[in-house]
């Protein structure tokens, strides 16, 4: 596990210098970043941010990547106006900060976004992906939301929902071999519980040598040894969505 002074190593990797090609919209009480595919589509993906919030350029980069692959992509502010985590914050206050931002209490916001996607964007098939905090939120949604078709949880924090594995929809779990916050024994235990309890398609994949956040927090141009795994993780994510949407 991460040490107590740094309970979540989400600052590993690089922040992209990236502006985004989508736009910010207001959806009822939620701000959101939306990027649409060049061609008309009825397929959409909700992108759930990590602790650094909906404005993180890295997350918008992934949303734009989804749009480039033919999806309507939306990244809502699931903190609903509360401050995202900042690297200048004291890590000793992280647990208290997290208590007011539960990955299992986003259902109301998800319902609002689903309504927007259906009524304003013409979406009929909707999936979800998420990173770290958002990856845990994906697992939560795959356990209970009947309106989503599939999910991809990228290094979702297992301990949030570790005893709940009866997924409703096909779910892909991505982990890094060298992730300090998600030890491999947790991943192994997750696989065992899914095998025992899960009635739908799922996959758990561990990427060699990769640390927390590698799919969206590492710059492949300055991490050449990691580039194949970064690209593989992104490709696997897209392929999973293509299969089930």
pLDDT of 60-117, one tens digit each? 999 999 999 999 999 999 999 999 999 889 989 999 999 999 999 999 999 999 999 9
Percent of the chain with pLDDT over 70: 93
Written as six digits, the tokens of 166 are 């009866």
Kindly list the structural domains of the chain, giving each domain's residue range(s) and its CATH number in brackets, ordered by start. 9-244 (3.40.50.1820)
Find residue 75's DSSP bridge partners: 33
pLDDT of 42-66, one tens digit each? 999 999 999 999 999 999 999 999 9
Sequence-ordered alpha helix ranges (H) in 56-183: 57-68, 94-99, 107-121, 133-144
* Closest by CA position to 46, among listed 100, 117, 96, 107: 117
pLDDT for 3:
36
pLDDT of 159-200, one tens digit each? 888 777 899 999 999 999 999 889 999 999 999 999 998 999
Residues 156 and 138: beta-carbon distance below 8 Å: yes
Q: What is the mean pLDDT of residues 135-157?
A: 96
Q: At 41, phi and psi to the nearest 5?
A: -150, 155
Q: pTM (2 decimals)?
A: 0.94
pLDDT for 13:
63
Torsion from C-alpha of 48, 49, 53, 58, nearest 10 degrees: -140
Residues with catalytic roles: 132, 179, 212
pLDDT for 14:
67
Q: What is the mean pLDDT of residues 140-156?
A: 97
- Strand residue runs (E) in the chain: 23-27, 30-35, 43-48, 72-76, 125-131, 150-154, 171-176, 202-207
Give me the residue label for tokens 């040598």. Answer: 209
Percent of the chain with pLDDT over 90: 80
pLDDT for 4:
42
pLDDT surpasses 70 at 236: yes
Q: What is the mean pLDDT of residues 125-138?
A: 97
Question: Strand 23-27 to strand 171-176: parallel, antiparallel, or no bridges (unpaired)?
Answer: unpaired
pLDDT for 5:
47
pLDDT for 159:
84
Find residue 154's DSSP bridge partners: 131, 174
Contacts of 156 (CB under 8 A, 6+ apart): 130, 131, 132, 134, 135, 136, 137, 138, 139, 173
pLDDT surpasses 70 at 12: no
Averaged pLDDT of the chain:
92
pLDDT surpasses 50 at 2: no
- Listing from the earlier edge strand, what are the strands of the sheet with 43-48? 23-27, 30-35, 72-76, 43-48, 125-131, 150-154, 171-176, 202-207
pLDDT band per the 50, 70, 90 thresholds, residue 221: confident
């Amino acid at each position: 596990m991460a040490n107590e002074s740094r309970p979540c190593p989400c600052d590993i990797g690089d922040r992209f210098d990236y502006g985004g090609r989508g736009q910010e919209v207001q959806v009822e009480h939620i701000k959101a970043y939306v990027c649409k595919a060049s061609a008309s589509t009825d397929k959409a993906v909700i992108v759930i941010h990590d602790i650094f919030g909906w404005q993180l350029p890295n997350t918008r980069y992934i949303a734009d990547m989804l749009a480039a692959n033919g999806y309507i992509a939306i990244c809502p502010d699931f903190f609903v106006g509360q401050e995202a985590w900042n690297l200048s914050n004291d890590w000793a206050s992280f647990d208290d900060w997290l208590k007011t931002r539960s990955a299992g209490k986003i259902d109301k916001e998800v319902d609002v976004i689903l309504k927007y996607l259906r009524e304003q964007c013409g979406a009929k098939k909707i999936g979800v992906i998420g990173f770290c905090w958002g990856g845990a939120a994906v697992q939560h949604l795959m356990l209970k939301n009947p309106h989503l078709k599939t999910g991809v949880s990228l290094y979702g924090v297992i301990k949030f929902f570790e005893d709940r594995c009866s997924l409703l929809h096909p779910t892909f779990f991505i982990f890094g071999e060298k992730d300090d916050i998600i030890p491999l024994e947790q991943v192994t235990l997750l696989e065992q519980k899914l095998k025992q309890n899960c009635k739908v398609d799922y996959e758990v994949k561990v990427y060699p040598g990769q640390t927390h956040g590698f799919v969206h927090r590492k710059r492949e141009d300055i991490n050449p040894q990691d580039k194949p795994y970064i690209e593989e993780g992104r490709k696997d994510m897209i392929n999973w969505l293509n299969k089930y949407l």
